[in-house]
Amino acid sequence: MGVNLEYYTIAAVPQPVRNAIEAEARQLVPAHDWWAESLNFYDPGEGDGRLYGTTKVFLSGYSNADGDFVEVDPDEDSLMAYRDTSFILEKLAEWSRKHGLSWQVDCAGEPIGTITKGRWDRQLREYVDAMKSSFQWQSAFDEKVKAISAKYASRW
């Protein structure tokens, strides 16, 4: 159970660029302590040559290895979703700059903005700012992220 961030290119992507982005995304899996899921690209069978991806960013709860259900504190879930969403959007912006791509970004099936020429549009910036304002900002953000991740370490 969770909420997904969906992202896809506006136009077709040449195969070498697609391969480079997918390879780079795979390298992020062990490097980034993902909250719920890593960056994932997939083939939806559309045949339009665009690059499609999705990541679960809100966790809300999960079953651990013992089969017990662990409920996640909503404020902690929001902070971690904000962290992963920001990370993903920055990667999409980097790939946009590097490869000349434009991305459409949706959350829970609703459009939240676009990235073009490496820049977030106003709608996307407002969405992320609203996420950030939904929890008390911590001056020690990285320490809070590590503590929450450790608290729910049984999610893996």
Per-residue pLDDT averaged across 109-119, rounded?
Answer: 97
Provide the residue range defining the domain that includes 110: 3-155
DSSP 38: -
pLDDT, residue 46, reads: 85
DSSP 39-102: -EEE--S--S---EEEEEEE-SEEE-TTS-EEEPPHHHHHHHHHHHHHHHHHHHHHHHHHHT-E
Helix pair angle (141-151, 74-99), 10° resolution: 120
How far apart are alpha carbons 93 and 133 in whole angstroms? Answer: 22
In this predicted model, what pLDDT tens digit does every residue of 36-77 receive, in sequence order?
A: 999 999 999 889 999 999 999 999 889 999 999 999 999 899
Domain count for the chain: 1
Distance CA 9, CA 49 (A): 9
